[in-house]
Chain A
Amino acid sequence: NAGVMQNPRHLVRRRGQEARLRCSPMKGHSHVYWYRQLPEEGLKFMVYLQKENIIDESGMPKERFSAEFPKEGPSILRIQQVVRGDSAAYFCASAGPTNTGELFFGEGSRLTVL
């Protein structure tokens, strides 16, 4: 049973470019969460999605960031016109249909903005 799969694991972008991070949840999981982690800091909630719906995006910056979880395919976190401050590890987590509370995390995508 494959776990949460994130890709790419490492991404380097120049300022002004776009970054797209992908997350495939565990099989049978319909809840996806995105978190950001800066070096030596905790995980900061960004967005919570279910298939085709954004449930809570209270942690998402208002500009340049967007997320989707289409009916088919992985969840995508998109960062437009990246800046150096966007450099961080982005973690995706999934939860099952009953959402008992336990989150299953991927290994993260590490974005470096030059």
Chain B
Amino acid sequence: SQKIEQNSEALNIQEGKTATLTCNYTNYSPAYLQWYRQDPGRGPVFLLLIRENEKEKRKERLKVTFDTTLKQSLFHITASQPADSATYLCALVDNAGNMLTFGGGTRLMVKP
């Protein structure tokens, strides 16, 4: 069956450190993969998109990698700040489909 798996346990890190979140998928052939941020009681906000032929994408303190052999994407936040605390969702569009499918999200807590 198709799955998009993110660590359901919260990730707690100290301010200033790099946060690394993982997204693994099974039985998908993604055209592209995206990362979103969701704060409590709010809608998700788009952060980054990476295509199947791209290995890495950066935006300010954010970096996403995409390994289609390992079927995994890593999402990094460098120099993390308490304001980065939120739930981060990965999502992908399969080559065979046309809708975005989401993982369960990982909650990040950055402590001052």
Contacts and interface: CB of A to CB of B under 8 A. Distances in A.
B contact face: mostly helix, strand, loop, or mixed: strand
B43 A107 contact: yes
Interface in B35-58: 36, 41-46, 49
A101 B89 contact: no
A56 B49 contact: no
Interface centre among A55, A102, A106, A107 (most CB of B within 10 A): A102
Nearest to B46: A102
Contacts, number: 54
Contact of B34 (A4, A44, A101, A106): A101
Contacts of A35: 102
Contacts of A106: 43
A42 interface: yes
Contact of B102 (A42, A55, A101): A42
Nearest to B8: A40
B32 interface: yes
